[in-house]
Structure 1
């Protein structure tokens, strides 16, 4: 059974805080199954955007996991803001979580590209 979006977001933010990092919920989405987008802030001032991986990236042995893909990598903040705004217009139930890290793979599972 797949974790509810709200529980996943809560666990993600707690893990980041436990490691001494910063995490914040920028947009609260649907508690049960909202798509989760992660805005990753890097120390050099750039940002990356992790988005839900397409269905084809899921392992048939573990279909309930949450996989992400890196949609944008180390770009200016404005590019991430615009991408998130487009997603929110398409789906108003999305979550946007902001974390500060240079190693997002510590907190997120990325599908094979």
Structure 2
């Protein structure tokens, strides 16, 4: 598995290179921290991608697999969810990206 800090750096760079504003909001464990992706749709709504549960993984799946926990939700709901997760897992990462579309370019769990 690729280190969390390297994966996050590549994700941020890729999005900034294509014109989306993308930053690391919270740094977690550099080696194995879980990564959450907060997508600001620039219309007052935010989506949240979180790591997929191990039960959603299939043989041959990508290194990092995500699920959409919130889809075009109120920003406060996302902040509250991230705060609860951070209390439970202080090693997690949060990456914020501003984009109008829904495809952040990560592998989503089938389901």
**TM-score (normalizing by structure 2):** 0.94
Of the candidates 99, 102, 105, which is equivalent to residue 101 of structure 1? 99
Distance 1:43 1:78 in 2: 15
Q: CA deviation at 1:57?
A: 1.6
Who is 1:77 aligned against?
Answer: 75
Report the CA distance shift for 1:103/1:109 in structure 2 as closer, same or farther (over 3 A).
farther
Quote the residue 1:22 is aligned against.
21
Give me the whole-angstrom Cα distance separating, in 2, the residues matched to 1:9 and 1:20: 17
Residue 101 of structure 1 deviates from its aligned partner by: 1.7
Q: Please give the root-mean-square deviation of Cα atoms over the aligned residues, in Å.
A: 1.2
Q: 1:61 aligned to 2:39?
A: no
- Matched residue, 1:112: 110
Aligned residues: 111
Q: What is the rounded CA distance, in whole Å, between the counterparts of 2:46 and 2:93 in structure 1?
A: 17
Query: Which ranges of structure 1 fall in alignment gaps of 5 or more residues?
Result: none
**Secondary structure of 1:96's aligned partner:** strand
